[in-house]
Amino acid sequence: MTVAVLDTPPVSHPLKQVVLWIGANSGGVSKTTLAIHIAYVMACRGAKVAVLDLDTNVSMSQFTGLDKSPVAGETLAYVLSEHFDGDWPFASPDWGEIKGRIDICRGGPVMAEAGIELANRKRREYLLSDRLSDFPLPHDLVILDCPATLSNLSDVALVASTHLLIPLEPTPKSLSGCDVLLKWYQVSCRALRLNPQPEILGVVPVRYDANSATQREYRAKLPEVLNGFGIHCYPSVRFSQEYINASARGLPLQLHRRHHKACGDFLPICETLSELLEN
């Protein structure tokens, strides 16, 4: 009997890999925008970054200038399917100097079906984690852009992650949403027996408008409230119309308006990520 020999070269593991879950249980709170800008800054610092889009909308493709209608085989739905053969379907945004350092595995409407199909799969919550261990990625940083609801795809992402980052718009409604998210995190980690459980890197206030008295009031309270839970509060990512203009061009803000003050808003988060990758 002949035995087939696998002749594909082994994938080289990075020394450290951070898998960053970016999620919230509300829509339009900059999850995708954060994912893209953190990916861009980290790639500029020399990291190799993969972004896996678990969402059903096409924002990730649109904001990065990629084709918004990939066939299912070019999406994360394929990676999660029973037919996946280990060849991750990545697309790379055409962003000048860093081209090739950011790989994006797109989501989109097919993820709705993928989410429903999970119900019939064994080890459903562990599917992405299993994929990452069976077919490891050579990237230093893997960013998971999660859907706006705490669905079964959020569980899949949580199990695969090493760290969590939670964007929060400083408003009363978002604060109560954050409370629900933290309870979901605790219950899920316990129920899924995550050991070690992914660490909460912090909460980042987003779309912060210093001209709004309500936002100013809630922004000021946030660090103390979060510190009560042992959670770090990052400096804010400010509101700027230029994000909307940049995303319409398929560019990060840094390539749309290089000298815009908001470009520096991601640096504290990226500092933490760089430290995690170096230590």
Cis peptide before 14 (omega within 30 of 0): no
> To the nearest whole angstrom, how small is the minimum distance from the Cβ of residue 32 to ligand ATP?
3
Out of ligand ATP, Mg ion, none, what residue 237 binds, judged by CB under 5 to 8 A for its kind, is ligand ATP
- Tell how far CA 45 is from the center of its chain: 18
Out of ligand ATP, Mg ion, none, what residue 164 binds, judged by CB under 5 to 8 A for its kind, is none
> To the nearest whole angstrom, how small is the minimum distance from the Cβ of residue 51 to ligand ATP?
12
Judged by CB under 6 A, the chain residues 98 through 117 that form the site for ligand ATP are none
Q: With binding defined as CB under 6 A, does residue 244 bind ligand ATP? A: yes
Which of 154, 188, 240, 274 is close enough to bind ligand ATP by CB under 6 A? 240
Q: With binding defined as CB under 6 A, does residue 151 bind ligand ATP? A: no
CB atoms within 10 A of CB 228: 8
C-alpha–C-alpha distance, residues 164 and 14, integer Å = 20
Q: With binding defined as CB under 6 A, does residue 154 bind ligand ATP? A: no
Amino acid identity for residue 105 in this structure: C
Contact flags string 8-27 toward ligand ATP, x per CB under 6 A? -------------------x
Stretch that binds ligand ATP, among 70-78, 216-224, 235-243, 269-277 (CB under 6 A): 235-243
- Inter-CA distances, 222 with 126, 131, 168, 203, 234, Å: 33, 37, 10, 9, 10
Q: Are strands 163-168 and 102-105 parallel, antiparallel or unpaired?
A: unpaired
Q: How many CA atoms lie within 13 A of 4 on its CB side?
A: 2
Nearest to 54 by CA among 155, 140, 134: 155
C-alpha–C-alpha distance, residues 51 and 102, integer Å = 7
Judged by CB under 6 A, the chain residues 195 through 214 that form the site for ligand ATP are 206-207
Stretch that binds ligand ATP, among 12-20, 83-91, 173-181, 241-249 (CB under 6 A): 241-249
What's the DSSP call for residue 146?
-
Residues found near Mg ion in the complex (CB under 5 A): 31-32, 59
Stretch that binds ligand ATP, among 41-49, 52-60, 121-129, 182-190 (CB under 6 A): 52-60
Query: With the C-alpha atoms ordered 258, 260, 262, 267, is the resulting torsion angle positive or negative?
Result: positive
> To the nearest whole angstrom, how small is the minimum distance from the Cβ of residue 24 to Mg ion?
10
Q: With binding defined as CB under 6 A, does residue 239 bind ligand ATP? A: yes
Which of 190/249 has CB closer to Mg ion? Answer: 249
C-alpha–C-alpha distance, residues 26 and 8, integer Å = 42
Are 20 and 266 in contact, with CB atoms under 8 Å apart? no
Total number of residues that touch ligand ATP (CB under 6 A):
19
* Interacting residues toward ligand ATP by CB under 6 A: 27-33, 55, 57, 59, 148, 206-207, 237, 239-240, 243-244, 247
